[in-house]
Amino acid sequence: MTQDIVILAAGKGSRMKSAFSKVLHKVGGIAMVRRVLTTASSLPESKLHLVVGHQGEQVEANCQDFSANIVWQNDPQGTGDALRRVAPFLQKNGATLTLYGDVPLISASTLQKMTALSNPNTLVLLTICLENPMGYGRIVRNEQGKVTAIVEQKDATESQLTINEVNTGILLAPNNHLQGWLASLTNKNAQGEFYLTDVIAMAARDGVDILTVNPENEAEVAGVNDRVQLAALERELQHQQAVSLMKNGATLLDPSRIDVRGELTTGNDVVIDVNCVFEGKVVLGAGVEIGPNCYLKNCTVGDNTIIKSNTLIEDSKVGENCDIGPFARLRPGTQLANKAKIGNFVETKKAIIGEGSKVNHLSYIGDTEMGANVNVGAGTITCNYDGVNKHRTQVADNVFIGSNTSLVAPVQVADGATIAAGSTITKQVGENQLAFARARQTNKDNWPRPVKK
């Protein structure tokens, strides 16, 4: 069946004590509502509706790439009220799946189990049994075990409060019945709100089959009301991701000390030490080793490369069998060919480093194209910025650059050239030439050292 998917994201979230919408707070580096939208988008034949209210402009702007139908709920009066506002946009046939922007870990597989049961005379509920059901609506069943109603905590009788099967809020209802049920909702309850859960009793009354599905784990249906719950879901997600990485062939020296805030793909025999953070999309080839306290964002790393401790890599491409760090920083636009080496306290930016080239320590290489088998001595910098514009440095193959060299761009160094230590290079160096550019040294006899005043 075709599906309307409604994501409720209009709540104020006052317990977050935040200047921006609750559903925009991140779990695993991604806004909660975007996680829900991404999962919903994976279901076939679906039309997305996003219900916004408090700080709705923020939510709409953050989610515009999903092409969801935006429905406003400026004066929220419950979940039923939200669905009533979406009702004019629902397809005549098919079914409507209701999700929540602050329940970010719901899985596509669970939703697929629900949609597999969908038909014009079936309502599907996602329920779960909890040891402590406090605060949740209870699932009421008759003697035959069929669901007859959902009773909210504040409206439940003493006997109903003993029920531990609870409503998660996620349901799939056939549109041919849902429109009438929504029109019949009232707010005659302890909260004075229109409960979407009231449609369950209506479905039972109308002879509609009510089926239940259970999630794989409790975290799937856990919502976020404050930052404590947000942190708990963050840890749960990181645990899930760590388990997945290890099952995929990666070794995590401490699975509780890794943070994946995006998408991390690993080849076989990857080893990741403690306190590493991965953001955006990161791909690690087979045999990659990453030392402690590293940060990688939107980058690819080739097979058997070693990244030593306290290294930062962002928006870069690293080849195979490279050696990087410790304390190195690869800024956006860096490309390392196979067997390149970037040593301690080296920074690169928009730099193409050729195969087997080495920038071992204490250097800055920016806006540079460097060939193969180049050796860059300590303290070398490319002077790429004139105060207004950036300029490129071009270094050919087999060049030797002595320590403490300044390459003032734009400048070219040809194949096989050698630059003497301490030189400031401002013009082209030809093939196999030796370039040295130093001030003449002067020595003074009997020079008095300064004394402290």
Residues of the binding site for Mg(2+): 102, 225
- Asked if 9 and 33 touch (Cβ cutoff 8 Å), the reply is yes
Question: What residue numbers does the annotated binding site for acetyl-CoA cover?
Answer: 378, 384-385, 403, 421, 438
Is the peptide bond prior to 88 cis by the omega test (within 30 degrees of 0)?
no
For 182-200, b/e burial (b = at least 16 CB within 10 A) is: beebeeeeeeebbbbbbbb
Residues annotated as binding site? 8-11, 22, 73, 78-79, 100-102, 137, 152, 167, 225, 331, 349, 364, 375, 378, 384-385, 403, 421, 438
Spot the catalytic one: 25, 49, 361, 391.
361
Helix axes of 108-115 and 32-41: crossing angle, nearest 10 degrees = 50
- The DSSP bridge pattern shows strands 335-336 and 317-318 to be parallel
CA separation for the pair 354, 342 (Å, rounded): 12
Alpha carbon distance 74, 47 (integer Å)? 22
Residue type, 204: A
Handedness of CA 380, 386, 392, 396 (dihedral sign): negative
C-alpha distances in angstroms, 103 versus 7, 98, 180, 217, 234?
10, 11, 27, 13, 12
Taking the C-alpha atoms of residue 395 and residue 66, their distance in angstroms, rounded to an integer, is 45
Contacts of 443 (CB under 8 A, 6+ apart): none
Q: Distance between alpha carbon 324 and the CA centroid of its chain, in Å?
A: 25
Angle of CA points 275, 357, 438, to nearest 5°: 110
Query: CA end-to-end span of the chain, whole Å?
Result: 89
Bridge partners of 234, per DSSP, are none
| Rounded distance between C-alpha atoms, residue 72 and residue 65, angstroms | 18
Chain centroid to Cα 342, Å, comes to 28
Tell me whether residue 54 is one of the annotated catalytic residues.
no
Type of residue numbered 273: D
Question: How many CA within 13 A on the CB side of residue 177?
Answer: 23
Distance CA 151, CA 159 (A): 11
Q: Would you name the residues annotated as active-site residues?
A: 361
